[in-house]
Amino acid sequence: VGERLYVGMDFGTSGARYALINKEGTIRAEGKREYPLYMSDETVDWVKSWRTTLFGLLEDIPVSLRPAVSSISIDGTSATTIIVDSNTGEPLCNPFLYNQSCPEALPIVKAIAPPNHTVCSGSSTLCKLVSWWSSLSTPKSSAALLHQADWLLWLLHGKLGVSDYNNALKVGYDPEIETYPPWLLSQPYSSVLPLVQAPGSVIGSMTEDIRTRFGFPKDCVICTGTTDSIAAFLAARANQPGKAVTSLGSTLAIKLLSTRRVEDARFGVYSHRLDDKWLVGGASNTGGAVLRQIFTDDQLEKLSEEINPAEASPLDYYPLQDIGERFPVADPKMQPRLHPRPKSDAEYLHGILESIARIEAKGYSLLKELGATPVDEVFTAGGGSKNEKWIKIRERVLGLPVRKALQTEAAYGAALLAMKGAVQ
Ligand code: ADP
């Protein structure tokens, strides 16, 4: 038997990627595709677009490597929901996109769910399901709810109605007791909910049709996936409690692996299960978007060279693009604070970078206060992670080692899930 390979696919907001890795985690092939735009009745036909992209990515996998593929897993955008006919798999309506809100369903959901539950948000999967269910004159007995990743995986394995507990969190699944809670099971629409497995567990073999069409081996299996942001965390391989990933993109998001589950709706903090551990997350509105309003990426690089990261900046800002913050301070009326602006642009930038680092540190101490495992090492991803001076500033402010994550693509994280499933 030669080298075995594992495929991960990431279906993000603007396009999809694949990564093909070997047992050592080395990337053997990778690629990406934009979503083609198909219209039907003046609305975008997302289902067709995703299906075309999935098969396009399978075609992009080098023919010579396909016979070595042991397993495939896929992550999708969280709370992107498709309701299909449970006999044929055909969609019964347009998919509900991750950020689509169903405000009319929110009071109904709030009336059945415990206060501050993850499903109590207009864009939760449960609100989407309730919205669809209430819009029907006759109940649909043969419907099945799938998340985007579940549906794409279904195209490959053919068993309808399987999900993973990361995707299922926003429909109300409780990963701690590994079941849907009683308040959900007592609802008439509970029959449409998918079966839930741990991310990266084998669902079944690839259908013979697809296997022979593309040249994948007979023992190629399809594994449950996860959400796109969890897949990006998995890519960094921060797999011990206390290891964390800070993503410095347009906003600042932190994710910490913890032995304890912590939740606090005030700060938008909740935990996803990862096997026997919990992935605790929080997202601040500060981040790179503010930097981009003030400096070009070129300026950011040049000005950063002038910064001495060993020196603390006396400037105390709270960089925000708009009014309002949720984490680590819950204050919807918080004003952005970017003054006084010193004459020197390098000093200004130093003050902003240092202030964002303090918000990051405050985020990790809040998670600790809420009961999470204390952070001991930070991996970093996103556009801000390439700034070496900022990494040094953050090491000083956090009092912890900060390292650039070697892998940050969600597709790579999904490939690790495929590997996990195949070697189990
Ligand atoms: P997103 O995907 O969230 O839009 P990215 O991960 O692509 O964001 O990161 C883009 C952000 O990175 C921009 O907001 C920009 O301000 C920031 N950025 C780019 N270069 C640098 C740099 N050298 N130092 C700090 N921040 C940077």
Domain identity same for 77 and 43:
yes
We report the CATH number of the domain holding residue 358 as: 3.30.420.40
Number of H helices and E strands in the chain, helices first, is 12, 18
Q: What pLDDT shows up at residue 139?
A: 64
**Ligand 1 pocket residue status of 294, Cβ below 6 Å:** no
Question: Is the ipTM of this structure higher than 0.85?
Answer: yes
Domain identity same for 36 and 163:
yes
Q: Atom 1 (ligand 1): residue with closest C-alpha? A: 249
Per-residue pLDDT reduced to its tens digit, 356-405:
999 999 999 999 999 999 999 999 999 999 999 999 999 999 999 999 99
Judging by DSSP bridges, how do beta strands 69-76 and 221-227 pair with one another?
Answer: parallel
Per-residue pLDDT reduced to its tens digit, 333-342:
999 999 999 9
Q: Atom 21 (ligand 1): residue with closest C-alpha? A: 384
Domain identity same for 57 and 193:
yes
Q: Do residues 144 and 129 lie in contact, with contact meaning Cβ atoms separated by under 8 Å?
A: no
Mean pLDDT of 260-283: 95
Mean pLDDT of 229-248: 97
| Atom from ligand 1 closest to the CA of residue 288 | 14
Q: Using most ligand atoms within 8 A of CB, pick from 291, 293, 304, 352 the residue to mutate for ligand 1.
A: 291
pLDDT score of 246 more than 80:
yes
Q: What pLDDT shows up at residue 265?
A: 87
**Ligand 1 pocket residue status of 299, Cβ below 6 Å:** no
- The amino acid occupying position 99 is N
Domain identity same for 288 and 364:
yes
Q: Atom 16 (ligand 1): residue with closest C-alpha? A: 288
Q: What pLDDT shows up at residue 41?
A: 85
Which residues, at least 6 apart from 78, have a Cβ–Cβ distance to it below 8 Å?
98, 166, 167, 170, 227, 228, 229
Q: What pLDDT shows up at residue 420?
A: 98
What domain range is 97 assigned to?
5-229+411-423
| Atom from ligand 1 closest to the CA of residue 251 | 3
Domain identity same for 391 and 419:
no
pLDDT score of 248 more than 90:
yes
**Ligand 1 pocket residue status of 408, Cβ below 6 Å:** no
Q: Do residues 369 and 329 lie in contact, with contact meaning Cβ atoms separated by under 8 Å?
A: no
Domain identity same for 204 and 343:
no
Domain identity same for 68 and 189:
yes
CA atoms of 304 and 358, how far apart (whole Å) = 18
Per-residue pLDDT reduced to its tens digit, 136-172:
776 678 999 999 999 999 999 999 999 999 999 999 9
Q: Do residues 227 and 166 lie in contact, with contact meaning Cβ atoms separated by under 8 Å?
A: yes
Per-residue pLDDT reduced to its tens digit, 235-244:
999 999 999 9
Q: Atom 13 (ligand 1): residue with closest C-alpha? A: 288
CA atoms of 13 and 11, how far apart (whole Å) = 7
Q: Report the mean per-residue pLDDT for the chain.
A: 96
Mean pLDDT of 83-107: 95
**Ligand 1 pocket residue status of 371, Cβ below 6 Å:** no
Q: Using most ligand atoms within 8 A of CB, pick from 10, 228, 250 the residue to mutate for ligand 1.
A: 250
Helix/strand/coil for 354: helix
**Ligand 1 pocket residue status of 249, Cβ below 6 Å:** yes
Domain identity same for 14 and 61:
yes
Domain identity same for 332 and 397:
yes
**Ligand 1 pocket residue status of 51, Cβ below 6 Å:** no
Domain identity same for 415 and 349:
no
Q: Which residue has the tokens 């029959």?
A: 191
Total tally of structural domains belonging to the chain: 2
**Ligand 1 pocket residue status of 387, Cβ below 6 Å:** yes
Domain identity same for 245 and 315:
yes
Domain identity same for 249 and 364:
yes
